[in-house]
Structure 1
Amino acid sequence: MKNDKGGGTVTYRMHVVATDAAELAVNAGGLIVDRMMSGWRVTVELLDDTDSRPVRILGAELVDAVTPPDRPDEEQCVLVMGAEAHARVVSGEGMPAGCVEALVWGESPDPHHIYGHTLSAAARAFKAQAVAAAQLAVAEVATAETFTSMNAKTFGISLRA
């Protein structure tokens, strides 16, 4: 996609921060698969877990930091995280540069901005496999995932200059 200035290509990345692979698969597994299938680069940071199998099943790239050193200048990033990670960001750790939106799962920090993502059939199938790989019981994978959507500019999250 061309940027507004007529030059260069805008790329899209979604960075997901989760405590562990189980939390990741249950709360954002379907969104990860659907974004990957749409051509987005999806990176995942696990805070307390090194089990990469569910991340690989979902097709995402496991990274150690929010902003990899090879981030292109024309990249638009959406940060996806749980309520606990969001609380840390708001309390001072700061939103990574370049993020234009944050999606938060779990207890909503702002219930007026709920975003529901309907999972494709492929997303449901891959999510079920990732949840099973995280050693959680899979009775049925929900057809949607729910997030609170926060525009970075509106919520005081600093954008890249």
Structure 2
Amino acid sequence: MRYRLDVVAPSVVEVVTCAGGWLFDRVMAGWDVTVLVADNCDDRPLQILGAEAANLETALASGLSGLTGPRPHALAVATELYDRDARVRQGVRQALESGQTEVTLWGDTWPAELDRVDSVEHRLSVAARAFKAQALAAASAPVDRIAFTETFRSGTPACCPVAADLVPAS
């Protein structure tokens, strides 16, 4: 059985910009990564990272707790969507309450009601930085300089066997 990460984002460009290196490293570690996006643009940047694209609205209509099948081992969400869509908020809360799903968020604002999430970062592998740059170029996004880390907020259950790639932010 492979670990599964479902990612919820408003656009392909945002997910590649904010979490592309982390997603690539998870794929290289053997994870199945599905990115559910609100826009219907080219999914080639996600393919470069090794992730699959799916339609967010279709997934939300069927319930966020099992976006692309059984409950994922990890769920990553853009706070922009958390703030504006009650279905996303409900899915995140259910995942946190289950205690069985690593929940990770990124964005400019942090929902105050999510007091169980800590600031964490992922140090990108050299390959992740290279593939993220290629994915950004394919998305026609600026590729000025790829940072060595990506910063998130995460609520990881104690029993989660996969927290080693997200460490407390310095």
Structure 1, gaps ≥5 residues long: 1-8, 154-161
Contact 1:20 1:46 in 2 (8 A): yes
Q: How does 1:8-87 map to 2 (within 5 A)?
A: 9=1, 11-64=2-55, 65=59, 67-69=67-69, 71=70, 76-87=72-83
- Among 123, 127, 132, the alignment partner of 2:128 is 123
TM-score (norm 2): 0.72
SS at match of 1:50: coil
Structure 1 segments (4+ residues) deviating >6 Å: 96-99
Summarize the Cα distance change of 1:46–1:95 in structure 2 as closer, same or farther, 3 Å threshold: same
Shift of 1:45: 0.7
State the match for 2:110 in structure 1.
108
Structure 2 residue 151 is the aligned partner of structure 1 residue 146: yes
Structure 1 residue 81: Cα displacement: 1.5
Q: Which runs of 5+ in 2 are unaligned?
A: 159-170
What is the CA-CA distance between 1:122 and the residue it aligns to?
0.6
- Residue by residue over 1:23-42, the C-alpha shift from the partner in whole angstroms, topping out at 9 and shown as x without a partner, is 01100100110000111110
Report the Cα distance in structure 1 between the residues aligned to 2:33 and 2:87, rounded to whole angstroms: 25
Richer in helix (by share): 2
The CA deviation at 1:121 is 0.4
Aligned length: 139
Instruction: Return the index of the structure with the highest Cα Rg.
Output: 1
Maintained 8 Å contact 2:6/2:72: no
Normalising by structure 1, report the TM-score: 0.75
CA contact (8 A) 1:108 1:147 kept: no
Provide the aligned C-alpha RMSD in A: 2.5
Partner of 1:159: none
**Offset from partner CA, 1:54-95 (integer Å, 9 cap, x none):** 1111110112325224x4xxx652111111122246x45421
